[in-house]
Structure 1
Amino acid sequence: MPKSKQYLIDDLSMQESWRLFKIMAEIVDGFESLSDIGPAVSIFGSARAKPDDPVYQLTQNLANLLAKAGYAVITGGGPGLMEAANKGAADAGGSSVGLHIHLPFEQQSNDFLSLKCDFRYFFIRKMMFVKYAMAYIAMPGGFGTLDELFEALVLIQTRRIRPFPIILMGSDFWGGMIDWIRERLISAGYANPADLDLFVVYDSPEDVVTFIKRHIVL
């Protein structure tokens, strides 16, 4: 093998080795930062929603009620509905946690965090969401929200983690997806009818908090 190619291989191997150390350090930092937050609920939703959006206000109200009920609120720490959830928790004097990911866009953290954790790797960030949340709430959102939602559903479906409450907020928004799952996936045998029982759908923040209280005793 030419020496130049061997140097390149050795250099890439060294880079990968150092990356492993960075990954390990990020995991340890996450564990140490989040270990004392107590019972928590993760809220996911669009980073692009504006404060005058009714869903922004709905998310803020929901997080406010959760914080008053004694739950820490975890979000991605960014703008939009993440900001709304952190603001609602902060206004109630609760623990407002942001798991902030470094991105080339939509990466600014919001101003309502009592605890901020920074991540470079999506898979580590998702690990922290699952490990420290006792319930998931999916507000309307895009690919990122769907990614977090289906990550949890797959882990529960395959029994890699214990089941916990997963709530989809907004029947109008999520109804089409649920119909598609039923009509395309289940009817074709790609999913089981029981998979629809892995989550619930609510429209009222009060109903969500009541549901969570039934499943997570403080």
Structure 2
Amino acid sequence: MTPPDCPDCPQPQAEHSIAPDDIKKEQRFQLEHPDRTLLGGPQSRWRELRTLARVSWDFIKAFRTLHFAGPCVTIFGSARTRPGTAYYEMARTMGAKCAELGFTVLTGGGPGIMEAGNRGAFEAGGRSIGVNIELPFEQAGNPYVTRSVDMHYFFTRKTILVKYSYAFIVLPGGAGTMDEMFETMTLIQTKKIRNFPIVLMGKDYWQPLMDFVYRMAEAGTISPDDPELIFFTDDPEEAIAHIHRHAVRQFGLRQDKLPKPKPILGEKGVPKSAAS
């Protein structure tokens, strides 16, 4: 393919050319990092098939693990939050309260806020699950999960964190946390999922974001009622009352026996409690 004649267009310079060695390095990188292959444009049919198989395996592992989890609440937040800090303890409290309400606490399985949510559920004797992500720098799973599943792709992991939950608690975090919250909000807006409660906690941290959400509503880029999808509080009692009202009562949840796994299919149940 050659560029069209365009006398006024800037011409490619030698420093912008791609050397054959650079192309080989990119090919090697894609072989070593399948995520880059997935998002790197069209590939060979064989490599596309391998990608589909890997995506399918992510979902199969998660479906087999979470099928026995019961209704979940997902807690989102930063992996960098240290134990003992205010937001860590807030997530730990919410994990415990969700477990006491009968929910399985579901997180990304890593450190920080995720660890705190799992820890609260674990210490309260509830069910605690981590959906960990495989990263080049090896994010280790936290020790407070009673069951975990490792995912390769971020988008498959995010799907699982939404699929099994009746409520979402968002604590301070970075770009990934905002991505998770806004994707969940978009799924509710577009009615791809039911009107599950989103609880945003950490007022000092998130206030500028909430101001911007209301600004979007004023500008007409979201519906006037969309900001009401987010319940903004720092009070764990208010948060758990909101979840009880808009998840437990709204969807008629009750504590029933979980389905039994079938060992012949390699299935494993989730322990009833941390002590099980």
1:78 to 2:110 alignment: yes
Relative distance call for 1:144 and 1:106 in structure 2 (3 A) is farther
1:129 to 2:167 alignment: no
Pick from 241, 250, 254 the counterpart of residue 210 of structure 1.
241
Q: CA deviation at 1:171?
A: 2.1
Q: CA deviation at 1:41?
A: 0.3
- Kindly provide the amino acid, as one letter, of the partner of residue 181 in structure 1: V
1:14-25, aligned counterparts within 5 Å? 14-25=46-57
CA distance in 1, matches of 2:137, 2:121: 25
CA contact (8 A) 2:87 2:202 kept: no
**1:145-189 deviation line (CA, Å, top 9, x unaligned):** 101101101111111111111110122222211112222x22322
The residue that corresponds to 2:220 in the other structure is 189
Pick from 112, 117, 122 the counterpart of residue 144 of structure 2.
112
- Kindly provide the amino acid, as one letter, of the partner of residue 193 in structure 1: P
The residue that corresponds to 1:143 in the other structure is 175
Q: 18-27 or 140-149, which moves further after superposition?
A: 18-27
- Kindly provide the amino acid, as one letter, of the partner of residue 129 in structure 1: L
Pick from 174, 184, 191 the counterpart of residue 159 of structure 1.
191
The residue that corresponds to 2:72 in the other structure is 40
CA contact (8 A) 1:126 1:148 kept: yes
- Aligned to 1:137, the other structure's residue is in SS state strand
The residue that corresponds to 1:95 in the other structure is 127
1:198 to 2:229 alignment: yes
CA contact (8 A) 1:153 1:198 kept: yes
- Kindly provide the amino acid, as one letter, of the partner of residue 200 in structure 1: F
CA distance in 1, matches of 2:103, 2:95: 9
CA contact (8 A) 1:79 1:106 kept: no
Relative distance call for 1:186 and 1:168 in structure 2 (3 A) is same
CA distance in 2, matches of 1:51, 1:106: 20
- Aligned to 1:193, the other structure's residue is in SS state coil
Q: CA deviation at 1:12?
A: 2.5
State the TM-score, normalized to the length of structure 1: 0.91
Q: CA deviation at 1:57?
A: 1.0
The residue that corresponds to 1:58 in the other structure is 90
- Kindly provide the amino acid, as one letter, of the partner of residue 190 in structure 1: T
CA distance in 2, matches of 1:187, 1:213: 30
The residue that corresponds to 2:203 in the other structure is 171
The residue that corresponds to 1:5 in the other structure is none
Q: CA deviation at 1:87?
A: 0.8
CA contact (8 A) 2:72 2:165 kept: yes
Ranges of 4+ aligned residues in structure 1 off by more than 6 Å: none
Q: CA deviation at 1:136?
A: 0.4
- What is the percentage of aligned positions where both structures have the same residue? 42
Q: CA deviation at 1:22?
A: 1.4
**What runs of 5+ residues in structure 2 fail to find an aligned partner?**
1-26, 28-42, 255-276
CA contact (8 A) 1:47 1:106 kept: no
Q: 82-91 or 191-200, which moves further after superposition?
A: 191-200
